[in-house]
A and B are shown apart, each in its own frame.
Chain A
């Protein structure tokens, strides 16, 4: 491209700078406003060495406070002498040309320009009046300007904006077209494009409040909460994984659903705030309020081996302070972790006083294991879960009755068993017959050496996952069980049993099958139980029969190093014919390289109950009883034999007993599978808190109590000095920051930039608001409403989020056209559109882009909430850089979960969804207030080629093709309207139609290509003519990539 194209905004912004200076000059005779004119200069150029940070302060001079600045300094000179710039050392020093004297010192690299020097001069001469930092001073309701124009501009927002615009010689632009406006407000409020019916209805509705009705409809939509949640998830650093090295899964979505629901319910922002910061501490906290407190458990959790728990507990507390400060107050408190703040009046000690509010959670600091939530945790059963529990309780009752009935008939079942059992004992030989294998081989290139004791020792390749296969002749007769013996060996790592460098192994499962001679069918052994003489904690032998390849049997190889035996019992004996072979497979696929080092195998023919790892084990007392005629047995002997029978044999009684157990287990399993969520939980007695020197967990300084920074209003006396009190203080009207910060964020959301451009920072380094009075008016109007309109028929309340948004989107400023045609002067004067002389226009987020494609193609699944889902992702997205944790081997869903809204996509922090990252989503490791809005070739590739977008193009194509419209032209027009919300011009339609004709011909000649294209994505297209649909698919591909579609116009 010609490079000059990209230059335009730069030139614009340069001009902006110039205009900025000029406009300062034009105010030459205005009184200086400290916060607008002087504080930014002092903050940027002086406070680093003469500001709040006592450690960095030079010459004991402090310029951030009036009473310090006017004192005579060390040198006897006075920094600032009000009304007398010539006598002020500050002024003398900034004018100096001597590099040893001039301020700021040249090595700092922040020289003052002439305009700044002039401002300082005038400020001192006007009395050097200081003001507190504007954002820390509570707002006062300003007069709405242009009262005489209230009829034309009933919305006060417009009058504030217009005042500024007019002063610069501009007016609002004309209103956007109805189609454009509908698409804009629909994308902004629910994140989906409007349907054609909605467009037609709005265009046809000529009533005065047509637009207001649309706004109310959207604010009442259940998809509104989803749209609002997206930005809140960035702030809350919400994800489905724990982050750090292992980055295993967690389950925090019940909290995410709480957020969606809270927005949909239009929960007042003060309540929204209190419940998330301290919902757990509210009196008689409801389940929902406890779930809300999960906000401050969304931080990462480290589970790396060898970490010191306290170090990471401190990190989580600091994360909470930073996230809470950033989210509600737009303060960057993290600077104070190691030292006093350089710019803001917050000391390190005050930081740790805030720390003390979050320091009292019953938590360990480290991750409590993979794929589970870390305490404190609560269960969040749904209505279905509770119903399921009631059903299962009914089943138990029934099974218990069955059991009692069968028990009454015990003799009937025992007699035949006794006969059979006596026979087995009489005919059985030694319990375990060691196999003498004909072949022992591995799936890998590992080799096996036979040892004198009949065991086999592995060497050679040791791949991540290996399967050993052993074949041996087997004697005829019943096969009831298999014994696996594992031995330590000097040649193995750590002289232990396994081949992993630490000497351990993990057996995932054992498989066996019997091959009778002459090609009879193989008999698969079904192994129903396993016992071992030793299992490592959490790695019990029972894992091998539960079909869970994520677990298995391990034996503490690194430390124990002793022979271990495991016995695998068949559900039903196999009657082995003569001349059969047995094949046994040792499957090791749980952990990498954890393969068995040396082993021996044996089989048994003894009946269940008679067999034990160590050999035959029938108690003598039972043998004695069996030897007696039933009539000769004592009551006690009969009872003992009955108990033995119930234990070792199988029949209706045991089956009934098992049903009871199964149902009980189902209940406990079901309870275990209830969703849980990590929440806050306060300790009965707070932990002690200290200043941590250099922010290090083990360098404790002075002890501190919970408390607020002096620069901010004090805690109201009626509030408790704990986290709940802090939450109520943040959510109070007396807090100068909370309302301004949120109002500003909403302004950014709808208008493109915040009134304070640094949405993320309201400290001294914050940008001066473009419309300070408007900011304050909005903040006050929001918390003490007078003109705020009723939103969506709900009664209005203070901190009404929907009400505030309605006020903003109902403004004329919001409804303007974005066109810059003929507006060169405006663009030049206001390239960033801070004055809003035209409508705001910006690229859609990754989430909205994908949701829009799914919706316009008819693919979107509109279910709200629930566990996160797995849409298409690139092959190996989780495996390229990690073999840790349970989030591996990504497989996309294959049902309608492929097409859920993007905020439900599973989020692994160390490998977040690529299509979101490409569009500037943060990785959710820490709180992020603001996303950048870039424009890159990788975004183009993603929208052109990613399977979601190609599939959406196909289904959009199909919608066009199958529409009842007659001509191709009409069909293309329909598609164009679906994605842009407007009717194409003839010219545009001509481009589309000619392209379609060309593609159609191409695909008629290349039917194979058409079929390949239509095979992309899981949804099946219904095409009579593949060429026709392929041509519509390419049209869809173009439509979904139009700048107009990628952009919120």
Chain B
């Protein structure tokens, strides 16, 4: 028992983000397995994915305008949604008072792509070229009907605040592969389709009841990317080095007096902080990228804080072996004026997403990186507000939505699940958010039922007491 743990810790030496492993409440068995699988990054079994890039589309993209074509609906344009389809399911109070629920067929043309013949709407020309790489899950469903609880549910497995986020669980379970950067990095961007869209919350990347070093480090778009990274004005790197050397000397003397090992941890944290002061700027400085490499991310790439710029950073983070890279792109909540707004959102995301995946392939990272693209729920087939020839809106719809997955261990060119003719209910192979999260963990070498944390007398896990692997998603 001794040896295994020591060996395990030694082998991941230098990784201070791992210090949390000390307090893991896991059984010794999982430590043994950790030793066995650590080379692949897994703790319960061999991992397919060493890292994950989760491209969260916040606000809920409309599945029937992007991925799940329902051409027959054109014949039912403006008809009231039949009760046989709605089945008395609850609506938000934004539309529950509407006297009519007019069916709004998508305005956008769909086409099949690749050998697999996967459908994409005309709004996604770039992502469509990767048809044979994507696994398209059309039968995603969730529980909440409002944004805050729904996005919290995707991220933490609970609608209510207080649970750790998926990235924190991964950081807690797997630790970091990089000694100079955090294990879980978050990048956010506002969408152009709806600049005043749904906000994000710290809790979405929070550590909940896990030790707080597992919380996602959100890179900021203004000022220091990592909080307080820059030395104060008038203190350059050399001066900082000198102050740290003195601090080190004094702290070591203090250690001689007290012999508390916690002092040595403190000393090493200051050294790590110093290293981050160069590793983070190095990560962010894209000057070393040739112009053509940047250009393929599209015109927004030079605007800091854009989705395109964040995709480029995601690639650079992946190259540096950051474990969990999560982008949040806001602006998908299209209650009105959907056709115009969704065009802008797709313009934001389509090309950069493809460029990111192309880059991962070029660098040999695609095969051990899991990539997820999706939002917190779907949108209604009926129009919120008036339906016109070229305008409609859609309300929240938790009963079905589409999420795309690709990369390590994912079956490409594959569609999972079906929805009914109204894209309202799932008719085949439902995939719950817990199922998707369980499968994500599985690909990272974690058994979602066994990565637990004891809190308030109970063993908690990301998937609560739920979650089944989506076998058909896996290669």
A502 to B231, CA, bound (A): 47
A1030's partner among B202, B223, B234 (CB-CB below 8 A) is B234
Whether A945 and B253, one on each chain, are in contact in the complex, defined by CB atoms closer than 8 angstroms, is no
CB-defined interface of A874-888 with B at 8 Å, one 1/0 digit per residue? 111000111111000
Whether B258 and A305, one on each chain, are in contact in the complex, defined by CB atoms closer than 8 angstroms, is no
Q: Which of B5-13, B62-70, B438-446 contacts A (4 or more CB under 8 A)?
A: B5-13
Q: How many residues of A contact B (CB 8 A)?
A: 120
- B112 CB–A CB distance under 8 Å: no
- A910 CB–B CB distance under 8 Å: yes
Q: Which of A755-780 touch B at CB < 8 Å?
A: 758, 760-761, 763-766
CB-defined interface of A1-28 with B at 8 Å, one 1/0 digit per residue? 1011111111101100000000000000
- B418 CB–A CB distance under 8 Å: no
Whether B456 and A883, one on each chain, are in contact in the complex, defined by CB atoms closer than 8 angstroms, is no
Residue of B nearest to A243 (CB): B161
CB-defined interface of A932-944 with B at 8 Å, one 1/0 digit per residue? 1011111111101
Whether A819 and B257, one on each chain, are in contact in the complex, defined by CB atoms closer than 8 angstroms, is yes
Of A501, A763, A1042, A1044, most buried by chain B (CB within 10 Å of CB) is A501
Q: How many residues of B contact A (CB 8 A)?
A: 112
A819 to B147, CA, bound (A): 52
CB-defined interface of B198-220 with A at 8 Å, one 1/0 digit per residue? 11111100100001110101101
Also in contact, A1038 and B247, with CB within 8 A (given A3-B14, A307-B93, A935-B269)? yes
A849 to B132, CA, bound (A): 55
Whether A941 and B273, one on each chain, are in contact in the complex, defined by CB atoms closer than 8 angstroms, is yes
Whether B94 and A245, one on each chain, are in contact in the complex, defined by CB atoms closer than 8 angstroms, is no
Q: Which of B1-51 touch A at CB < 8 Å?
A: 1-2, 5-6, 9-10, 13-14, 16, 19-20, 22, 27, 29
- B450 CB–A CB distance under 8 Å: yes
Whether B458 and A343, one on each chain, are in contact in the complex, defined by CB atoms closer than 8 angstroms, is yes
A923's partner among B22, B95, B203 (CB-CB below 8 A) is B203
Also in contact, A760 and B196, with CB within 8 A (given A874-B223, A874-B227)? no
Whether B93 and A917, one on each chain, are in contact in the complex, defined by CB atoms closer than 8 angstroms, is no
- B226 CB–A CB distance under 8 Å: yes
CB-defined interface of A919-940 with B at 8 Å, one 1/0 digit per residue? 0100101100000101111111
Whether B340 and A501, one on each chain, are in contact in the complex, defined by CB atoms closer than 8 angstroms, is yes
Q: Which of A995-1049 touch B at CB < 8 Å?
A: 995, 998-999, 1002, 1009-1016, 1030, 1034, 1037-1038, 1041-1044, 1046-1047
Q: Which of B71-79, B238-246, B358-366, B407-415 contacts A (4 or more CB under 8 A)?
A: B238-246
CB-defined interface of A576-613 with B at 8 Å, one 1/0 digit per residue? 00000000000000011100000000000000000000
Binding site secondary structure of chain A: loop
Whether A820 and B259, one on each chain, are in contact in the complex, defined by CB atoms closer than 8 angstroms, is yes
CB-defined interface of B276-301 with A at 8 Å, one 1/0 digit per residue? 11000000000000000000000000
The residues of B that contact A306 with a CB separation of less than 8 Å are 92-95, 145-146, 395-396
Whether A876 and B222, one on each chain, are in contact in the complex, defined by CB atoms closer than 8 angstroms, is yes
The distance from the CB of B312 to the nearest CB of chain A, in whole angstroms, is 19
A1034's partner among B146, B217, B243, B262 (CB-CB below 8 A) is B243
Q: Which of A394-402, A428-436, A850-858, A985-993 contacts B (4 or more CB under 8 A)?
A: A985-993
B261's partner among A3, A5, A912 (CB-CB below 8 A) is A5
A934 to B212, CA, bound (A): 7
Whether B199 and A247, one on each chain, are in contact in the complex, defined by CB atoms closer than 8 angstroms, is yes
A504 to B429, CA, bound (A): 42
Also in contact, A941 and B10, with CB within 8 A (given A1009-B236, A1014-B234)? no
Q: Which of B222-278 touch A at CB < 8 Å?
A: 222-224, 226-236, 239-240, 242-243, 246-247, 249-251, 253-254, 256-273, 276-277
- B427 CB–A CB distance under 8 Å: no
- A644 CB–B CB distance under 8 Å: no
A294 to B6, CA, bound (A): 51
Residue of A nearest to B264 (CB): A5
- B417 CB–A CB distance under 8 Å: no
The residues of A that contact B273 with a CB separation of less than 8 Å are 937-938, 940-941, 944
The residues of B that contact A1015 with a CB separation of less than 8 Å are 233-234
A1038 to B243, CA, bound (A): 6
A991 to B254, CA, bound (A): 13
Whether A304 and B147, one on each chain, are in contact in the complex, defined by CB atoms closer than 8 angstroms, is yes
Whether A1013 and B457, one on each chain, are in contact in the complex, defined by CB atoms closer than 8 angstroms, is no
- A950 CB–B CB distance under 8 Å: yes
The residues of B that contact A300 with a CB separation of less than 8 Å are 161
Whether A1037 and B259, one on each chain, are in contact in the complex, defined by CB atoms closer than 8 angstroms, is no
Whether B336 and A1013, one on each chain, are in contact in the complex, defined by CB atoms closer than 8 angstroms, is no
Also in contact, A926 and B160, with CB within 8 A (given A464-B195, A820-B259)? yes
B336's partner among A243, A501, A1012 (CB-CB below 8 A) is A501
Also in contact, A882 and B253, with CB within 8 A (given A109-B27, A821-B258)? no
Whether B246 and A1012, one on each chain, are in contact in the complex, defined by CB atoms closer than 8 angstroms, is no
The residues of B that contact A246 with a CB separation of less than 8 Å are 199
A526 to B162, CA, bound (A): 52
A882's partner among B200, B254, B455 (CB-CB below 8 A) is B200
- A558 CB–B CB distance under 8 Å: yes
Residue of A nearest to B6 (CB): A7
Also in contact, A935 and B259, with CB within 8 A (given A332-B457, A332-B458)? no
- A818 CB–B CB distance under 8 Å: yes
Whether A765 and B457, one on each chain, are in contact in the complex, defined by CB atoms closer than 8 angstroms, is yes
A475 to B100, CA, bound (A): 52
Whether B222 and A308, one on each chain, are in contact in the complex, defined by CB atoms closer than 8 angstroms, is no
A936 to B160, CA, bound (A): 27
Whether A1046 and B92, one on each chain, are in contact in the complex, defined by CB atoms closer than 8 angstroms, is no
A163 to B242, CA, bound (A): 49
The residues of B that contact A4 with a CB separation of less than 8 Å are 10
- A266 CB–B CB distance under 8 Å: no
Also in contact, A912 and B458, with CB within 8 A (given A14-B2, A874-B223)? no
- B385 CB–A CB distance under 8 Å: yes
Whether A1043 and B268, one on each chain, are in contact in the complex, defined by CB atoms closer than 8 angstroms, is no
Whether A935 and B227, one on each chain, are in contact in the complex, defined by CB atoms closer than 8 angstroms, is no
- B178 CB–A CB distance under 8 Å: no
Also in contact, A14 and B203, with CB within 8 A (given A3-B13, A938-B217)? no
- B462 CB–A CB distance under 8 Å: no
A987 to B249, CA, bound (A): 10
A1042's partner among B229, B250, B261, B337 (CB-CB below 8 A) is B250
A875 to B328, CA, bound (A): 20
A926 to B145, CA, bound (A): 21
- B303 CB–A CB distance under 8 Å: no
Whether B250 and A501, one on each chain, are in contact in the complex, defined by CB atoms closer than 8 angstroms, is no
Also in contact, A841 and B260, with CB within 8 A (given A761-B456, A1044-B254)? yes
The distance from the CB of A618 to the nearest CB of chain B, in whole angstroms, is 43
The residues of A that contact B277 with a CB separation of less than 8 Å are 941
Residue of B nearest to A942 (CB): B228
The residues of A that contact B146 with a CB separation of less than 8 Å are 245, 302, 304, 306-307
Residue of A nearest to B219 (CB): A880
- B136 CB–A CB distance under 8 Å: no
The residues of A that contact B231 with a CB separation of less than 8 Å are 944-945
The residues of B that contact A417 with a CB separation of less than 8 Å are none
- A342 CB–B CB distance under 8 Å: yes
A925's partner among B93, B162, B264 (CB-CB below 8 A) is B162
The distance from the CB of A699 to the nearest CB of chain B, in whole angstroms, is 12
Residue of B nearest to A1002 (CB): B239
Question: 6 tightest CB-CB pairs across the interface, nearest first?
Answer: A765-B457, A1013-B234, A882-B199, A306-B92, A501-B337, A1-B268
Taking beta carbons and an 8 Å cutoff, which residues of A are in contact with B? 1, 3-11, 13-14, 109-110, 243-247, 300, 302, 304-308, 315, 332, 335, 342-344, 464, 493-495, 501-503, 558, 591-593, 698, 758, 760-761, 763-766, 818-821, 823, 841, 843, 874-876, 880-885, 909-912, 914, 917-918, 920, 923, 925-926, 932, 934-942, 944-947, 950, 985, 987-988, 991-992, 995, 998-999, 1002, 1009-1016, 1030, 1034, 1037-1038, 1041-1044, 1046-1047
Q: List 22 A-B contacts (CB under 8 A).
A: A3-B9, A110-B27, A246-B199, A308-B90, A464-B195, A493-B391, A494-B385, A501-B334, A501-B336, A820-B258, A876-B222, A882-B199, A911-B202, A917-B202, A920-B212, A926-B161, A937-B276, A941-B226, A941-B277, A944-B231, A1042-B250, A1042-B254
